[in-house]
A and B are shown apart, each in its own frame.
Chain A
Amino acid sequence: MRVNPVAKTVLQRLGLGLITLFVVSIIIFSAIAMLPGDFAKATLGQAATPETVAALQHEIGLDRPPIERYFSWIGKMAQGDFGSSFASRTGYRRTVAEIIAPRLYNTMFLAVMTALVAVPLALGLGILAALYRNSWFDRLVNTVTLTTISFPEFFVAYMLAFLIISRDTFAGTDLAQSLPVWLAASIDWTLNVVPKFPTLANISDQTPFWEHVWRAALPSITLTLVIVAHMMRMTRAAIINMLSSPYIDMARLKGMTPMVVVLRHALPNAWAPIVTVVAFNLAYLIVGVVVVEVVFVYPGVGQLMVDAVKSRDVPVVQACALVFAATYILLNLIADIISIATNPRLLHPR
């Protein structure tokens, strides 16, 4: 029986994905078990006395052996119950699902918002750079994007925040005093052209949609600057690679314009590597934005996970890790499906 290659890949990958998630959960659980201290000690800190630590450990079940705790957790997990955070107390249950859900929404919001700007921008720039390769435009785009990707993301983030602060304070600085008046005035004017983006992106579940967009602007710009170069360079390289093939020469000889050659002939065959890189960057937008979240105080999953690791809140760490792992698996799966779907040789194997 012939199985559709797409369906086959999906089933195979989902199966492997489940095994991966299982392995990830074991690794995370044992890694946290190996860290010094536990939730009770971390919460009570310097104020911990042996009796209060023991009482707290008993309440959250930390006095049971780790293997027993792991299996009871995975047992519930298999039934779709993420369990409760260790921060729960009798009569005050905080489920992991209710802790993660709003954070995940925020992270997804930021990721989608950034992707909507960054992916078309990167593809567009990449195509144009390929079309006008080795021109001044190509060089400029390359220089700028490579510069922004070369700085660590926290540096880009702080520089953007500094720019916003400078709107108000530049005129009073020693630098402004020492510059000629016309120069200082024009710098001041330029700074004030930049909209006053909020440096504090702390949003809540009551924040209206457009205010959410507005507050998330700086984190989103930072992330865009960080990821555009990678996708843009891959698009450019993949297309240029295609442009040396004989069928492209054929298209040119038929008298087609360079734009049509790139869009109609080169691009369809270049999708596979581009999509892989785009998927990789989208995954980064979800799982790797901890630093940007911290700098702009954006309540996403990354910050939640760091918090949870610090306080040894194992159920939350586990859930975050699984969400991250699942994101990677799914995005890579989607990338592969697109690669297959855009390649007739893979779609209709003989």
Chain B
Amino acid sequence: MSESEYKLRIAKGLIGSGKVSRRDFIHLGLAAGLTVVAADQLFVTAARAEPQQGGFAKLGMAHGATTDSIDPAGYPDTFSQTAFSGAMSNSLTEVDAKGGIQPDLAESFESSNGAKTWVFKLRKGATFHNGKSVTADDVVTSMRYHMGADTKSAAKPLLASVKKIKADGPETVVFTLDSGNADFPYIMSDYHLVIMPSVDGKADWASGARTGAFVLENFQPGVSTKLKRNPNYFKNGKPYLDEVEFVAITDLAARMAALSTGEVDYIGRADLKTLGMLKRNPKIDIIEITGYGHYTLPMNVTMAPFDNPDVRMAMKWAINRQEIADKIFLGHATVANDDPIAPAIKFYKNPEPQHSFDPEKARHYLKKAGLEKLKVDLSVADAAFAGAVDAAALIRETAAQCGIEVNVVREAEDAYWDNVWLKKPWCASYWSGRATADWMFTQAFAAESSWNESFWKNPRFNELLVQARAETDEAKRAAMYAEMQQLTHDDGGTIVLVFNNFVSAKSKKLAHGDVAPNWENDGLKMAERWWTAEA
């Protein structure tokens, strides 16, 4: 690419945001060897990247089951999350494409009392699909739906630290927490914590009336969901699409075929093995985002031999992460460093040194632990993550070169999370990741968390966790999180193998801005954020 061609490419990007005039652009085009007409055409095409109203999109989701419901206590997978939470509903806040926190149904939020008290002001004029305006009472009831002894919500642990919620007038909600949490607005962006109308003091989820960009038109569990544009949506100009349909296509090959033949305009979780075929198709774009999700191998540090930190260290050096990323995930994964915080997250700091495959170091730590040879069981099933069994086979080979005999135990996929995870000394696990360091650490590493998958209880780590959560000084917080990441890297029981990329594909008929990394499908909000490129 010559310099002028490169400039032209940059300029094309700028047109969409209105930063380059048609005249300047044509000058650049001429310099790059285009004719005036061609450059003009190019300008028009690029300028069209501006969102436009109207159109219909059919979106193929990788999940969907007949047991799905619009009850926000559930939302087990991307079908319900993207359709019912992302498209139909709003939480108080949302995560933007850069991983920052933005107000959503809230207009603003602020903390006081060492981040123990959080005040959320609601947007004026926001209404539910049934016409009722959104009040602070609705927010309080919606939150209480996920709290208390008899809730069936998967989001219950998220709100465990909330001591009191109170409506202060019709537009203000005050949360009082057990201890300070500077990242509390991030928690409020969770896809379960959508705002529902309060009817007789109870959250009314069954009517389907929410606040979001789309209104529920038709829902056939396990098959499809049709939504139409909410004309009274509180965000100016949004959504762009008139109608969206989410289709459950759980079969990988069926999904690829549906996009290839133009039956759907988008598919989540494209097949990595046949991605080349999609790339050849001139009507299709591939979208690849490094998200927060990661694949882990938690070692139970309360059980021998993993109760010895040197054994854990030996294991960490006995795994060839690069090979796993290349061979199992075909390059669609980013090598991790036993630190569960993704590079895109605030306060990320890569701990030193990078753990890689080094038989000498592994043997060194094994010797330090007073062992010459080691035999361990690794319990895996593809229910943990697709490729877990193959990854375990690679680990067996590399560990053998370090004097560690890994016996790969293939577990049943059914009820894997029930019978293997948190039960076997060493197993495979998956985290979709969380938007903040605190959130991730609190759920999967804090001593008292029921999901502390390695049962790791490092006193210094837990002390820092509480301190950092309430600390409002950014620099001090950064230092604390850096130390915590170093601790999980050096002493922790969780081997973080790789961060997985979200690989999806879309037809060129659909267009979008920057894609958010916090969840799949543009942070679950693709229906609200995307538009049709053709009129």
Contact = CB atoms under 8 A, between A and B. Distances in A.
Q: Do A and B bind each other?
A: yes
Interface of A: 35-37, 41-52, 55-56, 58-59, 85-87, 89, 91-92, 94, 99, 102, 158, 161-162, 164-165, 168-169, 172-173, 196, 198-200, 202, 204-206, 294-297, 299, 303-304, 307-308, 310-311, 313, 316
A251 to B, nearest CB: 53
Given A164-B257, A172-B282, A297-B254, 11 more contacts: A41-B417, A42-B415, A46-B421, A46-B429, A47-B154, A85-B66, A165-B260, A169-B277, A196-B261, A199-B260, A200-B258
Contact of B281 (A92, A169, A297): A169
Contacts of A37: 414-415, 418-419
Given A297-B249, A307-B65, A165 B224 contact: no
Contact of A92 (B206, B247, B254): B206
8 contacts: A37-B414, A48-B417, A49-B450, A59-B152, A102-B220, A161-B257, A169-B281, A200-B261
A168 B260 contact: yes
B218 A91 contact: no
- Grouping DSSP codes into helix (H, G, I), strand (E, B) and loop, the B interface class, with mixed when no group exceeds half, is loop
Contacts of A59: 152
Would you call the interface of chain A mostly helix, strand, loop, or mixed?
Answer: helix
Contact of B220 (A43, A161, A205, A296): A205
A295 B152 contact: no
A198 B257 CA distance: 10
Contacts, number: 152
Nearest to B155: A47
A210 to B, nearest CB: 18
Interface stretch (B68-76, B125-133, B362-370, B496-504): B68-76
Contacts of B277: 169
Nearest to B250: A294
B415 A35 contact: yes
Nearest to B157: A49
B149 A92 contact: no
A158 B421 CA distance: 35
Contact of B150 (A55, A89, A307): A55
B386 to A, nearest CB: 15
Contacts of A205: 220
A36 B412 contact: yes
Contacts of B218: 204, 206
A185 to B, nearest CB: 19
Nearest to B282: A172
B253 A295 contact: yes
Contacts of A169: 260, 277, 280-281
B154 A44 contact: yes
B264 interface: yes
B260 A299 contact: no
A230 B16 CA distance: 61
